[in-house]
């Protein structure tokens, strides 16, 4: 029983700490990417960045809490390390997959926007102009 509690006491702060650190890092460094995705609209990029961070926290912290329970009693120090390696490794993989999914979707949006900007004329058509006739 004691070793199980020690496992929980080690797992929870490490998993939450890693989640917070990754969220802050992605938020800080992802701002430039999001600004590019949204064609320089910094207000929109900041809003989406904040929403992504909130979603990241909700998904990852929910996973951390749901995944916390040990499948069986931890009875020794080796069991503590086994528990921590499986649980923390799973949390890190989940964070990585969520990050890759976000980058994939945002990159698709960025490419579509770049393609639309490339096909849009720089000046809107102003009407018909008559070609000069040769005399």
Residue 74 binned pLDDT confidence (cut-offs 50, 70, 90): confident
pLDDT of residue 119: 66
Domain residues of the chain, as ranges? Answer: 2-119
Measured on CA atoms in the order 114, 120, 121, 124, is the torsion positive or negative? negative
Assessment of whether the complete model's pTM goes beyond 0.85: no
pLDDT of residue 39: 80
Distance CA 52, CA 17 (A): 18
Distance CA 35, CA 89 (A): 32
Q: How many residues does the chain have?
A: 135
Give 72 or 102, the one with higher predicted confidence.
Answer: 102
User: For 19-32, what is each residue's pLDDT tens digit?
Assistant: 999 999 988 888 88
Measured on CA atoms in the order 54, 60, 63, 67, is the torsion positive or negative? negative
Distance CA 15, CA 60 (A): 9
pLDDT of residue 21: 93
């Amino acid at each position: 029983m004691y070793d199980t509690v020690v496992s929980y006491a080690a797992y929870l702060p490490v998993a939450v700490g890693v989640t917070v650190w990754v969220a802050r890092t992605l938020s800080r460094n992802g701002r430039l990417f999001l600004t590019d995705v949204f064609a320089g609209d910094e207000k929109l990029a900041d809003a989406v960045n904040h929403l992504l961070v909130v979603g990241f926290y909700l998904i990852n912290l929910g996973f951390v809490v749901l995944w916390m329970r040990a499948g069986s009693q931890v009875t020794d120090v080796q069991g503590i390390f086994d528990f921590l390696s499986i649980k923390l490794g799973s949390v890190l993989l989940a964070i990585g997959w969520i990050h890759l999914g976000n980058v994939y979707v945002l990159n698709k949006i960025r490419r579509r926007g770049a393609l639309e900007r490339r096909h849009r004329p720089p000046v809107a058509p102003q009407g018909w102009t008559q070609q000069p006739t040769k005399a």
